[in-house]
Structure 1
Amino acid sequence: MESSGANARQPTSGSAQLVEYYNQLAERYDDERFANPYGAYIHAQECRLLQRWLAPIAHGKILDLACGTGRLLDMATHGLDASEAMVRIAREKHRRKEVHCGPAADLASFGIHFDGIFCLHLLMHLTCSDIDALFRVCHERLRPGGLFAFDVPSALRRKLTGFRPEGWHGGTAFAHREVTSLTANKWRFKVSRGILLFPIHRLPLRIRPLLRRWDDLIGMTPLKRVSSYMLFCVEKRP
């Protein structure tokens, strides 16, 4: 996969810096990122889409890849994250879940094939070669017909707003067509949606619930390409 020119800054492949960043952030992560109206807005959109997409395999084996502190582990049977500090919190919150610490390449450590894998807020930190490797290992550990859901920042949105990330954090974005090209061989494209179209952090709290409903609806149209993030669901070809 080749990223667009909007993605000039990318992290070092397999960066220990990424892991160390989240190790340092782990104790504050839930409060700083999602215990506020902005985080709650994103969380609600992500949960709604994942619940809908994973419903056909809800009773199967589902992996939350880059599970962090376990924010979305209620929708998975297993979790994997490279940050020891994040995994420790995830295990405390979800004692009945099987949560491993390691990179994506460690998917085989579970010793099973999954019915579904979802991975949010990770690809934006990776190089294109790392993303290709991640897709390969997910394909290997999914059963035929298994689902893979993931998100990426919108390169078109960044181009229109002039946003340029500094350093590796969130340094990679994609155009919609770049992601759909993944379905050409090993994957079958199923669905995509946009989230966080509106700059809700700049808008009054009282109107955000109404905006989220519009955000959800617009995210189903071609305008999803200008949302802040795009979520995709693809299926492993038999």
Structure 2
Amino acid sequence: MKGKEWYQQETVVESYEDKRFSRGGGRLTDQLEKEAVGEALAPVGDKKILEIACGTGRFSVMLAQQGADVVGLDISAPMLGEGRAKAREAGVDDHLEFMRGDAARLPFPDDHFDAVFAIRFFHLADTPEEYLREMARVSKRQVVFETYNRSSGRSLYNWALPMGSRLYSRREVDGMLDAAKLRLVDETHEFVVPFGLYRKLPGGVAKAFRRVEEAVDRTPLGDRLASISYWNATVE
């Protein structure tokens, strides 16, 4: 798994959300990602949900606030510590449990959750098929995950990133779904402008870029140029 050591550094965790989601374009991408997760999993009330690679718990806390019982799993103890503090502050720690663990060997029995999801995870995966099979194994119904797209503009600069990212073709995603015995029920393709760029933009400029993106989304090129895809599947 790429970034395994990096995400466990205390200094990285301390500034993780502040650098990525607290201002300008980062705040906008945080909002848009939360909307995508919420729409994919809705309705979440009384559902038992597992988040893989939950990080500091920004999605897990949101879902617990909406009435779900959530388990957030991550490899990074410092990230989980931030998540627990956030859950206590939001008053949802009685509906949210954080666990340290390996996504390739989930410590849960078959069909344990109503839904399992992973966001900003599969671009770091060294054995994505293995992870997706585990997610499907512990879910009764639904699996939601996200991939970075090989045909997008991200492929032009991916090599220059410190850890790089795994980029996926549609054929690879279909193969992973088949191997995990999952049936795709919905897909959403977003961010013609990669959100790494969004984070560097002032809020007003980011919103202007977003309006352009929405116009492109309404054309036949929208899905093809999107840098991120959200896949919503059901267990067969």
TM tier relative to shorter chain: 0.7 to 0.9
Alignment of 1:20 onto 2:17? no
Matched, 1:157 2:155: no
Structure 1: tracts of 5 or more residues without a match = 1-13
**Structure 2 unaligned blocks of 5 or more:** 65-69
The verdict on how the C-alpha distance between 1:30 and 1:167 changes in structure 2, with shifts beyond 3 A counting, is closer
Write the letter of the residue equivalent to 1:86: M
State how 1:215-226 maps to structure 2 within 5 Å: 215-216=213-214, 218-219=216-217, 223-226=222-225
Alpha-carbon distance in 1 for matches of 2:202, 2:229: 24
Deviation at 1:111, TM superposition (A): 8.7
Cα deviation, residue 168, structure 1: 7.1
Q: Deviations over 1:184-208 (max 9, x none)?
A: 3611111111222136647664253
Percentage of identical aligned residues? 25
Decide whether aligned partners of structure 1 residues 153 and 102 sit closer, same or farther in structure 2, where only a CA change above 3 A counts. Answer: same
In structure 2, which of residues 129, 133, 158 is the aligned counterpart of residue 132 of structure 1?
A: 129
Q: Any idea what the Cα deviations from partners look like across 1:140-182, whole Å, max 9, x if unmatched?
A: 1011xx11111111100147x6223247724200123321333
Q: CA deviation at 1:125?
A: 1.1
Contact 1:82 1:102 in 2 (8 A): yes
Q: Which residue of 1 aligns with 2:79?
A: 86
> Equivalents in 1 of 2:49, 2:215: separation in Å?
27
What's the TM-score, normalizing by structure 2? 0.80
Judging changes above 3 Å, is the alpha-carbon distance between structure 1 residues 170 and 233 closer, same or farther for their aligned structure 2 residues? farther
Residue 98 to residue 204, structure 1, CA distance change in 2 (3 Å): closer
- Gap change, CA 1:215 and 1:80, over 3 Å in 2: same
Note the alpha carbon deviations across 1:21-66, whole angstroms, 9 max, x for none: 0122111101011112222222122111111111144421011110
Q: Are 1:147 and 2:147 counterparts?
A: no
Helix, strand or coil: the match of 2:57? coil
Deviation at 1:217, TM superposition (A): 6.6
**Correspondence for 1:178:** 172
Superposed displacement of residue 224, structure 1: 1.9
TM-score (norm 1): 0.79
Q: Could you say which residue in structure 2 is the equivalent of 1:107?
A: 106
What secondary structure, in the 3-state scheme, does the structure 2 residue paired with 1:93 have?
helix
